[in-house]
Structure 1
Amino acid sequence: MSDVLPVFDGHNDFLLRLLRDPRSREAIWLTGNGKGHLDLPRMKQGHFAGGFFAIYISSPQAHDSPDFEAMMNNPPFDLPLPALIGHEEAQPVALAMAGHLLWMERASDGAFKVCRTVAELRDCLARGVISGIMHMEGAEAIGPDLDALHAFHAMGLRSLGPVWSRPTVFGHGVPFRFPGDPDTGEGLTEAGKALVSACNALKIMLDLSHLNEKGFDDVARLSDAPLVATHSNAHAVTASTRNLTDRQLAMIRESRGMVGLNYATSFLRPDGRQSADMGWEPMLQHLDHLIDRLGEDHVGLGSDFDGATIPQGIGDVTGLPALQAAMRAHGYDEALMKKLCHENWFAVLERTWG
Structure 2
Amino acid sequence: MSPMPNVPFIDGHNDFLLRLLRTPEQREELWLGAGEEGHLDLPRMQKAGFAGGFFAIYIPSPPEADAPDYEAMMDAPPYDLPLPGLMTASETQHIALAMAGHLMWMERAAAGALKICRTTADLHACMADGTIAAIMHMEGAEAIGADLDALYAFHVMGLRSLGPVWSRPTIFGHGVPFRFPGDPDTGPGLTDAGKQLVKACNELRIMIDLSHLNEKGFDDVARLSDAPLVATHSNAHAVTPSTRNLTDRQLAMIRESGGMVGLNYATLFLREDGRKATDCGWDPVMRHLDHLVDKLGEDHVGFGSDFDGAELPDVIGDVTGVQALIGQMRERQYGEELIEKIARKNWVALLERTWGV
Instruction: Report the TM-score range of the alignment, normalised by the length of the smaller protein.
Output: over 0.9
Question: Residues of 2 paired with 1:100 and 1:141: CA distance?
Answer: 16
Unmatched 5+ stretches in structure 1: none
Q: 1:12 aligns with which of 11, 14, 17?
A: 14
Partner residue of 1:211? 213
Distance 2:116 2:190 in 1: 30
Counterparts of 1:195 and 1:16, CA distance in 2: 24
Match for 1:334 among 333, 336, 345?
A: 336
Residues 220-243 of structure 1: CA distance to partner in whole angstroms, max 9, x if unpaired? Answer: 000000000000000000000000
Counterpart of 2:352 in structure 1 is: 350
TM-fit CA distance, 1:34: 2.6
What is the letter of the counterpart of residue 241 of structure 1?
T
Deviations along 1:19-50, one digit per CA (max 9) or x if unpaired, are: 00001101110114431000000001111111
Check if 1:100 corresponds to 2:124: no
Structure 1 segment 219-298 matched on structure 2, within 5 A: 219-298=221-300
Moved over 4 A (4+): none
Among 130, 133, 148, the alignment partner of 1:131 is 133
Aligned with 1:172: secondary structure? coil
Contact 1:87/1:141, CA 8 A, preserved across alignment:
yes
Deviation at 1:315, TM superposition (A): 0.5
Structure 1 residue 107, shift from structure 2 partner: 0.7
What code does the residue aligned with 1:192 have? G
Rounded to whole Å, the distance in 2 between the matches of 1:321 and 1:173 is 32
Distance 1:61 1:256 in 2: 40
Whole-angstrom distance in 2 between the partners of 1:342 and 1:118: 14
* C-alpha distance in structure 1 between counterparts of 2:99 and 2:20, whole Å: 8
SS at 2:69 equivalent: helix
State the Cα distance separating 1:66 from its structure 2 match. Answer: 7.5
Identical positions, percent: 72
Query: 1:227-269: CA deviations, max 9, x gaps?
Result: 0000000000000000000000010001000000000001000
Residue segments in structure 2 that go unaligned for 5+ positions in a row: none
SS at match of 1:41: helix
Match of residue 173, structure 2, among 168, 171, 174 = 171
Shift of 1:330: 1.0
2:56 aligned with 1:54, yes or no? yes
Q: In terms of mean alpha carbon deviation, does 24-33 or 208-217 score higher?
A: 24-33
Does the 8 Å CA contact 1:139/1:160 hold for their aligned counterparts?
yes
Q: Distance in 2 between matches of 1:207 and 1:59?
A: 20
Q: Which stretch of the first structure deviates more once superposed, 107-116 or 209-218? A: 107-116
Instruction: Give 3-state SS (helix, strand or coil) of 1:312's partner.
Output: coil
For the residue of structure 2 that corresponds to 1:135, the secondary structure is strand
Tell me which moved more, 106-115 or 190-199. Answer: 106-115
Say which SS state the counterpart of residue 141 (structure 1) adopts. Answer: coil
Q: Counterpart of 2:300 in structure 1: which amino acid?
A: H
CA distance 1:131–1:66, shift in 2 (3 Å) = farther
For residues 314-325 of structure 1, the aligned pairs below 5 Å read 314-325=316-327
Amino acid at match of 2:189: G
Provide TM-score, normalisation by structure 1: 0.98
Superposed displacement of residue 3, structure 1: 2.5
